[in-house]
């Protein structure tokens, strides 16, 4: 625990209005993908489908009018911050954007608990990105309003994993029976940590493809195997490319390296290019949480199997669904 003062008990949560929908998400923090069951996922995916229809037909709605979201980002973000913002605005709500917290009180030494307790005076829900593992849980312990984890260091990125899973389901029409290869920085990449946990709810085989120094945390590999999945760790992407249904590529997370020389040695370890794509199945998809640095060549963008831009678009529908669900309106 950091900060001062005792955490607020969750019994102090906002009073539930009579018109709220009891969906199992109302008033809840979204901290980890471990909170999700297959049923809860399919509920959120159904709502996301409806959100897409809403956006395509009308652009926006007034479902969350009068609600305010505080978007509190201690680390840079393009997609997560702007898609949460767009999601809230399209549902008729408003946003307080606080980006790369430098000029606000945190840079004057204010603790995370005090910052979230301040923001919840003005907002109904807080989306938080922070460089430390466990920070979202700490914020949730102190806040009485819901906290959504938008990435806690190398820990988790649950909303990214939801949109990743939603994308796989949409693109391939199923989640069971797939072979998923995760490629790149599996040590520091929080998106692959969350996605692996979510996928282990389904009948999926894993290939973890990385250089030796960027391997998936051993406890996560052990957990996946204990749940009965096949999980193979390999270094050469050529060994798995022909077998994979999903190739989930990640950026080497430069900001997590203490030794930049080590980063330089592994940063271009994998480059997905048209030549490699020729070895892949016709029905496979290439995903990436973005931003990419050089690990997928631009020439792959024209390939219909390149799903990363569709994946990015799905993020807004998923975040609309989550906001509506947590605020009791889905």
Summarize as ranges the residues that interact with ligand ASP (CB under 6 A).
151, 157, 190-191, 251, 289
* SS3 at position 218: helix
- Is the backbone of residue 153 left (phi > 0), alpha (psi -120 to 50) or beta? left
Beta bridge partners, 15, equal none
In angstroms, give the least distance from the CB of 127 to ligand ASP: 13
Q: How far is the CB of 280 from ligand ASP (least distance, A)?
A: 22
Both tokens assigned to 153: 């260091």
CA–CA dist 330, 325 (Å, integer): 5
CB of 301 to ligand ASP, least distance (A): 18
Q: Minimum distance between the CB of residue 293 and ligand ASP, rounded to whole angstroms?
A: 8
167 or 191: whose CB is closer to ligand ASP? 191
Smallest gap from Cβ 38 to ligand ASP, in A, equals 24
**Cβ-based nearer residue to ligand ASP, 199 or 327:** 199
The total of other beta-carbon atoms located within 10 Å of residue 57's CB is 8
Indicate the residue among 47 and 322 with the shorter CB distance to ligand ASP.
322
Query: Between 93 and 151, whose beta carbon lies closer to ligand ASP?
Result: 151
Provide the b/e sequence for 69-86 (b: ≥16 CB within 10 Å): bbbbbbbebebbbebbbb
- Comparing CB distances to ligand ASP, the nearer of 279 and 293 is 293
Which runs of consecutive H residues, i.e. helices, occur in the chain? 38-58, 79-90, 112-119, 135-142, 158-172, 190-199, 218-226, 260-266, 274-277, 308-326
Helix axes 158-172, 308-326, angle to 10 degrees: 120
Cα-only R_g, the chain: 20
Nearer to ligand ASP, 32 or 191 (CB): 191
**CB closer to ligand ASP, 158 vs 289:** 289
- Least Å distance between CB 157 and ligand ASP? 5
Residues in the chain: 330
* CB of residue 266 to ligand ASP, shortest distance in Å: 14
State the Cα–Cα distance between residues 286 and 244, nearest whole angstrom.
10
- For residue 183, give the H/E element and its range: strand 178-183
């Amino acid at each position: 625990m950091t900060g001062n003062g005792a955490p607020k008990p969750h019994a102090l949560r906002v009073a539930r209005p009579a018109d709220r929908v009891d969906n199992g998400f109302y008033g809840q923090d979204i901290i980890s993908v471990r909170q999700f069951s297959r049923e809860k996922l399919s509920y959120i995916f159904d709502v996301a489908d409806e959100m897409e229809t809403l956006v395509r037909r009308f652009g926006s709605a007034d479902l969350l009018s009068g609600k305010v979201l505080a978007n509190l980002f201690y680390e840079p973000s393009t997609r997560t911050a702007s898609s949460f913002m767009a999601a809230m605005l399209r549902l008729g709500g408003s946003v307080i954007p606080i980006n790369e917290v430098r000029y606000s009180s945190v840079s004057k030494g204010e603790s995370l608990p005090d910052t979230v307790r301040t923001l919840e005076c003005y907002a109904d829900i807080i989306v938080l990105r922070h460089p430390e593992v466990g920070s979202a849980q700490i914020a949730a312990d102190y806040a009485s309003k819901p906290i959504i984890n938008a990435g806690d260091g190398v820990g988790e990125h649950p909303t990214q994993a939801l949109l990743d899973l939603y994308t796989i389901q949409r693109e391939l029409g199923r989640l069971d029976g797939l072979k998923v290869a995760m490629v790149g920085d599996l040590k520091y990449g929080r998106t692959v940590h969350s996605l692996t946990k979510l996928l282990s709810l389904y009948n999926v085989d894993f290939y973890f493809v990385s250089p030796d120094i960027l391997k998936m945390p051993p406890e996560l590999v052990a957990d996946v195997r204990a749940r009965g999945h096949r999980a193979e760790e390999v270094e050469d992407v050529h060994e798995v490319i022909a077998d994979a249904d999903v190739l989930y590529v990640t950026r080497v997370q430069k900001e997590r390296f203490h030794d930049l020389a080590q980063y330089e040695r592994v940063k271009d370890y994998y480059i997905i290019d048209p030549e490699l794509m020729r070895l892949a199945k016709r029905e496979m998809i290439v995903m990436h949480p973005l931003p990419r640095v050089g690990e997928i060549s631009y020439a792959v963008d024209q390939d219909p199997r390149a799903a990363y831009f569709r994946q990015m678009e799905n993020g807004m529908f998923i975040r609309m669904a989550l906001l509506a669900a947590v605020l009791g309106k889905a």
